[in-house]
């Protein structure tokens, strides 16, 4: 970038942005005007002088990414999208926070053009930024490894965060990892206005942020609009210079520590915590307009000529950047036709034929933990799906999330004897950072040029829940791998034995919770997950070995590909018309098969239904579901977790599960102690028969 050119139109646009922010919150009756007003010049600088983006093509591959981690200040971003001609109009600002509008209270991906990810839960946007930065580096190595200097897949990630963001643990995790990864394409602007909802931030936040980020391995710069708290001066030349220096340092992520006064230049409320999260009141809004030279009686001032000039200037700035990128893209397309074909397939969400590379498991091979089968699938897919990558929160060997033989995604100088790295490999080492991992995975999925997965123990999905929820809210096709899925974890004890997690995860609308019964169901479920990108999935896998079911033609067991329906008849009743239906997930399907043998011997025709994903089952036709789980028979659910939720699947049924915490002890002893046995399933069926008078 060259020297900052700041025109009269720029200055007027900033003042207009402040007024529009005040008016939008005032009309809505609620919102967060303070930061939007004081950061109006900062966001204008980014959108009109710095960001590489195309207002007419929000999905352009070559664009930079802007993330408002301080998502409560959403109106600040909406105003810039309006002024830059990026899809919003003044009427959208007038509908701020209204039902069905394109300007919701917090930025939502898919709701507003130009919003890269859903933010609002503080700190998540910073972690998303780390993910976008990682995705950019991986995309370059995947699609343009021959690039020496700049690549068409390079982009910078700009994040605006506040004091609240930096207090969140997720930010500590993500920024620590960003330093280790040397993400030189990540620039975070920290708005240090020293205000949170409860007042002055010093009541809870007194650390030296600069030293903290320097310890993470970041470049840290300071820009002080407050002149040490003496006067106020928006030093945009200094900020522009800091951005230029951050862009030049390609070996470290950058933090620009920007000291501001919240709500400046409000006439009486600037610097007070009351402007953080409430409307200003008519008198204060009128006073602001008077100070800035606007008619205090006019709401949402219309400055058509100014807006048209601003939009034209943005297009004039971006046009040569876009033209050069298109030229470079065309040259790359000719030079790398195979990689271009890969890009087209990935963008179209297509898959090659996987049948020849996916592993198949036989009953003769013995028992296989579903986590082991999952690891075999990922390794087998490595060459066929080069866009697929991932790792775990320091549990790669336990989660089996390591693609065997693939190098690590690490700067080459971080390589170890155990983990070779070529700088841009495919095995991600998230460290013990489950919260950050989940938000990073979301950003990689949103980036759209690769697909990533990340694993940890199921019990620690609780650490990930906020980002998993946002993935479901935004319909992000993130892949979460959760292993060690029940009290069968054994000796590690109740702290590591999930009880309520499966039921709790099923409560999240839009999350597919998948618990395969054997190794071949794992293969079938992975196949569906990779071919379906409608939202996030949780692949829940066993630590303990499970039998590989004999699905040969003479066995009577259905093919594993039926798992794609969510639930299916694994083994039909001997008469074809069951008196009892046992429906189970995961490791408990084997219990159902054992119980069926005893019940059939006792003269009760029994169907076994394997239900790896209740969300997929809910998508099937009602007739299929009614035939699978008929209402006029005894029905028993079997799952090693709380039984909550199963009454909605089989009303009036019996439920075998565990509704209390576990204990430390050998797996078999725990399963026996807590009634996760064939005998308990048979007994539950007998109770159901007795209730029906049979």
Q: How far is CA 538 from the centre of its chain?
A: 12
Identify whether the C-beta of residue 586 lies closer than 8 Å to the C-beta of residue 639: yes
How far apart CA 22 and CA 42 sit, in angstroms, is: 17
Tell me phi and psi for residue 187, to 5 degrees. -130, 120
Identify whether the C-beta of residue 472 lies closer than 8 Å to the C-beta of residue 464: no
CA neighbor of 636 nearest in space, from 577, 595, 675? 595
Q: Is the peptide bond before 265 cis (omega within 30 degrees of 0)?
A: yes
How far apart CA 263 and CA 428 sit, in angstroms, is: 41
100, with CB counted inside 10 A (0-12, 13-18, 19+), is exposed
Give the three-class secondary structure for 482: strand
388-392 and 427-429: which strand pairing?
Answer: parallel
Mind giving me the DSSP string for 8-44?
HHHHHHHHHHHHHHHHHHHHHT-S-HHHHHHTHHHHH
Q: How far is CA 340 from the centre of its chain?
A: 27
Other beta carbons less than 10 A from residue 572's beta carbon:
18
Q: Bridge-partner residues for 195, per DSSP? A: 200
580-584 and 537-540: which strand pairing?
Answer: unpaired
Q: Bridge-partner residues for 537, per DSSP? A: 479, 512
Identify whether the C-beta of residue 545 lies closer than 8 Å to the C-beta of residue 587: no
CA neighbor of 543 nearest in space, from 692, 678, 368, 392? 368
Which residues, including other chains, have CB under 8 Å from residue 554's CB and lie 6 or more apart? none
Which residues, including other chains, have CB under 8 Å from residue 557's CB and lie 6 or more apart? 549, 550, 551, 570, 571
CA neighbor of 479 nearest in space, from 520, 507, 437? 437
| Residues classed as catalytic | 434
CA neighbor of 280 nearest in space, from 259, 265, 295? 265
How far apart CA 141 and CA 135 sit, in angstroms, is: 10
Helix and strand element counts for the chain (H, E): 25, 20
Alpha-helical segments (H) within 144-281: 163-167, 169-181, 209-216, 236-248
Nearest 5 degrees, angle CA 575-CA 576-CA 578?
Answer: 85
Q: What is the DSSP letter of 421?
A: B
The torsion region of residue 431 among left (phi > 0), alpha (psi -120 to 50) and beta comes to left
How far apart CA 240 and CA 238 sit, in angstroms, is: 5
Q: Up-side HSE of residue 159: CA atoms within 13 Å toward CB? A: 35
Interaxial angle between packed helices 209-216 and 169-181, expressed in degrees from 0 to 180 and rounded to the nearest 10: 40
Give the three-class secondary structure for 442: helix
């Amino acid at each position: 970038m060259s020297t900052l050119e700041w025109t009269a139109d720029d200055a007027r646009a900033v003042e207009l942005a402040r007024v529009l922010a005040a008016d939008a919150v005032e009309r809505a009756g609620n919102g967060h005007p303070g930061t939007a007003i004081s950061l109006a010049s900062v966001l204008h600088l980014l959108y009109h002088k710095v960001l590489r983006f195309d207002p007419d093509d929000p999905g352009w591959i070559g664009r930079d990414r802007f993330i408002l981690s301080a998502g409560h200040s959403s109106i600040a971003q909406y105003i810039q999208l309006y002024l830059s001609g990026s899809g919003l109009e003044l009427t959208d600002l007038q509908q701020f926070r209204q039902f069905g509008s394109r300007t919701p209270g917090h930025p939502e991906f898919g709701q507003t053009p130009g919003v890269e990810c859903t933010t609002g839960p503080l700190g998540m946007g910073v972690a998303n930024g780390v993910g976008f930065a990682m995705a950019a580096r991986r995309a370059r190595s995947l699609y343009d490894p021959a690039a020496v200097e700049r690549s068409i897949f390079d982009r910078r990630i700009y994040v605006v965060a506040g004091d609240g963001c930096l207090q969140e643990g997720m930010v500590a995790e993500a920024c620590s990892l960003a330093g280790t990864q040397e993400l030189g394409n990540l620039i975070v602007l920290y708005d240090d206005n020293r205000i949170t909802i409860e007042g002055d931030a010093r009541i809870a936040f007194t650390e030296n942020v600069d030293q903290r980020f320097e310890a993470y391995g970041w470049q840290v710069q300071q820009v002080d609009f407050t002149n040490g708290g003496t006067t106020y001066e928006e030093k945009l030349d200094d900020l522009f210079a800091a951005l230029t220096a951050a862009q030049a340092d390609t070996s470290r992520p950058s933090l620009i520590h920007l000291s501001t006064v919240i709500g400046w230049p409000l006439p009486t409320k600037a610097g007070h915590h009351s402007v953080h999260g409430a409307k200003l009141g008519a008198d204060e809004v009128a006073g602001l307009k008077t100070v800035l030279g606007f008619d205090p009686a006019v709401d949402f001032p219309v400055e058509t000529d100014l807006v048209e000039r601003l939009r034209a200037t943005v297009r004039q700035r971006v046009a040569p950047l876009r033209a050069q990128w298109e030229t470079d893209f065309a040259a790359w397309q000719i030079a790398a036709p195979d990689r271009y074909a890969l890009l087209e397939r990935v963008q179209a969400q297509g898959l090659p034929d996987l049948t020849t590379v996916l592993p198949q498991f036989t009953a003769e091979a013995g028992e296989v933990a579903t986590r082991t089968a999952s690891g075999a699938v990922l390794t087998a897919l490595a060459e066929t799906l080069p866009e697929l990558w991932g790792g775990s929160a320091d549990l790669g060997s336990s989660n089996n999330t390591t693609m065997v033989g693939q190098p690590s995604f690490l700067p080459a100088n971080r390589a170890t004897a155990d983990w070779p790295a070529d700088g841009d490999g495919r095995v991600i080492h998230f460290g013990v950072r489950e919260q950050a991992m989940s938000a990073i995975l979301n950003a990689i999925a949103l980036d759209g040029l690769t697909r990533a997965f990340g694993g940890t123990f199921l019990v620690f999905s609780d650490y990930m829940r906020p980002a998993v929820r946002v993935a479901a809210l935004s319909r992000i096709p993130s892949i979460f791998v959760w292993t060690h899925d029940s009290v069968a974890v054994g000796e590690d004890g109740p702290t590591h034995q999930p009880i309520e997690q499966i039921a709790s995860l099923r409560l999240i609308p839009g999350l597919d919770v998948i618990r395969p019964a054997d190794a071949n169901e794992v293969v079938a479920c992975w196949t569906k997950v990779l071919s379906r990108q409608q939202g996030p999935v949780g692949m829940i896998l066993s630590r303990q070995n499970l039998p590989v079911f004999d699905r040969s033609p003479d066995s009577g067991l259905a093919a594993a590909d039926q798992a794609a329906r969510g639930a299916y008849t694994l083994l039909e009743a001997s008469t074809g018309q069951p008196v009892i239906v046992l429906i189970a997930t995961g490791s408990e399907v084997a219990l159902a098969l054992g119980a069926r043998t005893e019940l059939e011997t006792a003269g009760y025709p029994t169907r076994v239904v394997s239900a790896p994903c209740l969300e997929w089952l809910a998508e099937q036709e009602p007739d299929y579901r009614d035939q699978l789980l008929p209402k006029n028979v005894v029905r028993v659910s079997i799952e090693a977790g709380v039984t909550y939720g199963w009454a909605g699947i089989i009303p009036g049924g019996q439920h075998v599960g565990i509704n209390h915490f576990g204990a430390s002890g050998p797996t078999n002893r725990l399963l026996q102690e807590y009634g996760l046995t064939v005998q308990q399933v048979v007994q539950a069926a007998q109770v159901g028969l007795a209730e029906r008078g049979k």
